[in-house]
Amino acid sequence: MTQQIKKKRPEVLSPAGTLEKLKVAVDYGADAVFIGGQAYGLRSRAGNFSMEEMAEGISYAHDHGVKVYVAANMVTHEGNEIGAGQWFRQLRDLGLDAVIVSDPALITICVTDAPGLEIHLSTQASSTNYETFEFWKELGLTRVVLAREVSMAELAEIRKRTSVEIEAFVHGAMCISYSGRCVLSNHMSHRDANRGGCSQSCRWKYDLYDLPFGQERRSLKGEIPEEFSMSAVDMCMIENIPDMIENGVDSLKIEGRMKSIHYVSTVTNCYKAAVDAYLESPAKFEAMKEDLIDELWKVAQRELATGFYYHRPTENEQLFGARRKIPQYQFVGEVIDFDETAMRATIRQRNVINEGDSVEFYGPGFRHFKAFIKDLHNADGQKIERAPKPMELLTITVPQKVKAGDMIRACKEGLVNLYKEDGSSVTVRA
């Protein structure tokens, strides 16, 4: 039966690789966060949560009205499932909102051993049609994370034909393999991508060789713009949030559990602002769209495209040749405290800060202002000109009010490679 599409507010779902990132995502507007535990996930190198950290994270999120999901989306080999039932029960008893699973064995164990714990189907399961959604619905799953290979037209059709919640990726890294099911890492480095050990072999640089019959191979390095690469650009749907909302997507998923707090805060802030603006008024969204795009380019990332949503990706959605755009901002610190009487902020430094540096402060709610580092003092109250030590506590004078949790970024100096209209590259100084 065709479902009536209703325009409703989708949740902004942010990545949280550590407890610190979870709290940042919550503070910067996430409606839900997804994390990893120390078992059954696909990010062995992320700062995966212990049970104690999960308990603290869930408590913090729930105190702010935010949901927490745990990714348990590995493909199990024989024996990997041992202990899963007890693990799922522990998550349920901590008050977790849902687990994200792809393996039918783990799904069965969760349903049987941890009744009451909500299950979402991972994108690893490659759900690309409404019949698949209905199949998982009959097994008790409440949400399906859409395969990243689905087009916007297919998404719209799925929404019309199923009541199952749709979670769709809107920002972050794209895998070169279908729905992330890759064996290249296994072959190149003996690290199983489907059991949490991906070495991202597709991101490596490869040489290209000429192999004339009976002759020595000859490297073509230098004869082509860049060595052979299989690396996809990142996804960005900030300009297309109206399509996601109008087509009834329930959850807008941001990838990046291994990214920095600068990334998590900035991207969460942008998508929260985009959703708020469009639901208030499409005209308001259009008016701020360029600001949202500019803001996203202040964090380190690859080039951006819309994935499979509007067309099949071509060579323009692959990384090769000179970079067409490079972020020119660097995360340098965060506000820890603010003395409104003296207009002085206590900050925790993350990168080198110099007296006189041009910086930008930003905070939840898409607040921004620019200033200069002024009256820089160290934790002992001594006036200094430069602070090179990471995580040092400093104080500065600020021209406007700031809040604990606000972030500080500086414009970087350096070289930017840009494409000219003829496709050749030119180097300019930032």
Residues 265 and 166 in one domain: yes
- Same domain as 270, residue 155: yes
| 238 part of a folded domain | yes
Residue 30 lies in a domain: yes
Q: Are residues 265 and 150 in the same domain?
A: yes
In a domain, 304, yes or no: yes
Please indicate, yes or no, whether residues 45 and 93 belong to a single structural domain of this protein. yes
Judge if 132 and 237 occupy the same domain.
yes
Whether residues 136 and 272 share a domain: the answer is: yes
By the 8 A CB rule, do 202 and 230 touch?
Answer: yes
Query: Are residues 251 and 11 in contact, defined by beta-carbon separation less than 8 angstroms?
Result: yes
Within a domain: 418: no
- Does any domain span residue 26? yes
- Given its phi and psi angles, is residue 286 left (phi above 0), alpha (psi -120 to 50 degrees) or beta? alpha
Query: Is 383 domain-assigned?
Result: yes
What span, in angstroms and rounded, lies between the C-alpha atoms of 167 and 255? Answer: 12
Reported in sequence order, the residue ranges of 149-299 that DSSP labels E, i.e. its strands, are: 165-172, 209-210, 218-219, 234-236, 251-254
Q: What's the confidence (pLDDT) of residue 338? A: 97
Each residue's pLDDT, cut to its tens digit, for the chain (430 residues) gives: 555 445 789 999 999 999 999 999 999 999 999 999 877 765 555 558 999 999 999 999 999 999 999 999 888 888 888 889 999 999 999 999 999 999 999 999 999 999 999 999 999 899 999 999 999 999 999 999 999 999 999 999 999 999 999 999 999 988 777 666 667 777 777 776 655 667 777 767 777 777 777 777 777 776 666 666 678 889 999 999 999 999 999 999 999 988 999 999 999 999 999 999 999 999 999 999 999 999 999 997 788 899 999 999 887 787 766 655 667 889 999 999 999 999 999 999 999 999 999 999 999 999 999 999 999 999 999 999 999 988 999 999 999 999 999 999 998 754 333 333 333 333 333 3
* Amino acid occupying residue 227: E
398 and 295 both lie in a single domain:
no
DSSP 375: E
Domain final residue pick, 284, 313, 342: 313
Statement to judge: residues 132 and 41 lie in one domain:
yes
Task: Answer yes or no: do 92 and 127 share one domain.
Answer: yes
Q: In this structure, what CATH number is given to the domain that contains residue 374?
A: 2.40.30.10
- pTM exceeds 0.95 for this model: no
What are the DSSP E strand ranges found in 19-177? 32-36, 67-72, 98-101, 119-121, 143-145, 165-172
Q: What is the DSSP string of 249-274?
A: -SEEEEP-TTS-HHHHHHHHHHHHHH
Nearest to 18 by CA among 226, 256, 251, 197: 256
pLDDT at 84: 92
Residue ranges making up the domain that contains 196: 179-219
The domain tally of the chain equals 3
Both 205 and 168 in a single domain?
no
In this structure, is residue 139 part of a structural domain? yes
User: Would residue 224 count as lying in a domain?
Assistant: no
Which of the 8 DSSP states describes residue 193?
A: G
End residue of a domain, out of 313, 338, 364:
313
**257 and 376 part of one domain:** no
Amino acid identity of 219?
Answer: S
Q: Are residues 79 and 195 part of one domain?
A: no
Whole-angstrom Cα distance, residue 25 to residue 22? 5
